[in-house]
Every structure is written in structure tokens, then in C-alpha cells.
Amino acid sequence: RLHPLLEYVLEHSHEQLDREEVAAVFGLSRRTLQNRLTDARLPPLRPFLTWCRLLVAAALLDEPGHTLDSVAAQLDFHDCANLGVALRRYTGTNITRLRDRGAFTAAIRAFRDVVDRSPYEDASLPQSSSAD
């Protein structure tokens, strides 16, 4: 059900996506889109968008010739330090260790750990409705 969202976000990973605009692409309110992510046990929309960009960044870092600087520029991060901080915050490891483990594989594992822990579930959130 969320496959089109994932595809869209990954295809636009080179852009700073606005949550409202992403929801509008699918004819949804931001709250409804958030509820769908919650129902799927995924992170909230902003972290989800960041995770997608970081997964693309990690895949690029595994390719020969890509540096942190080149990936940061390609994905419209402010600079390589900003990308490095984001990777460390989200994956729990620095760029050197990430690359040593295979950046994409390590990033996917970190994302799966987040999803498996499911800290984003909140039973108090209302279910989406057709009114959203």
C-alpha cells in the first residue's frame, strides 16, 4: 500500500521534500499519510523521508568513486558534514565503519532495527478516514 510513496521518495531523494507536498502528490493530507505510516509500523513522515535519502546515500557510497562530498552534493545535503551527522544519527555509526560494513547493508539493518523496535506506534492516534 505504501509502495508508491516509497518509490516516489526514493526517486526524489536528490530533493529536500516537503511533507505537505509529498502527501498532496498522493491526494492525502499529511495527517492521513502519517497515519498510514504508523499503521505500517514505519517512522513518522519526516524521519521516513530522511531514512529514504540516507538509504540512497548509503547505496551511492558503496559505488566506486563516490565520496561523502559527492554524495552530499548529489542529494542536496548542505555539505558532507551534514550528511555524515545524519548518517551517524540514524545508523548509529560513523561513515568509516558504515563503509567498512557495506554502507547500504548497514543502513538497511539500522532501518530494520528501527522498524522492528517500532517506537513510533501510538495507539492514541486516530485512524485515517475518508474525511482526511
For 118-127, what is each residue's pLDDT tens digit?
655 443 333 3
pLDDT at 117 (0 to 100): 84
The yes-or-no verdict on residue 18 having pLDDT over 80 is yes
pLDDT tens digits, one per residue of 61-86: 999 999 999 999 999 999 999 999 99
Q: Would you call 29 exposed, middle or buried from its count of C-beta atoms within 10 A (0-12, 13-18, 19+)?
A: middle
Coil/strand/helix, residue 27 = coil
Distance CA 92, CA 111 (A): 10
The yes-or-no verdict on residue 132 having pLDDT over 80 is no
What residue type is assigned to position 114 of the chain? V
Does the pTM surpass 0.95? The reply is: no
Distance CA 10, CA 119 (A): 23
Q: What is the CB neighbour count within 10 angstroms for residue 73? A: 14
**CATH for 3-117?**
1.10.10.60
CA distances from 50 to 106, 124, 132 (A): 16, 25, 24
CA 60 to chain CA mean position, Å: 15
The yes-or-no verdict on residue 98 having pLDDT over 90 is yes
Please say whether the dihedral angle defined by the alpha carbons of residues 44, 48, 49 and 54, taken in this order, is positive or negative.
positive
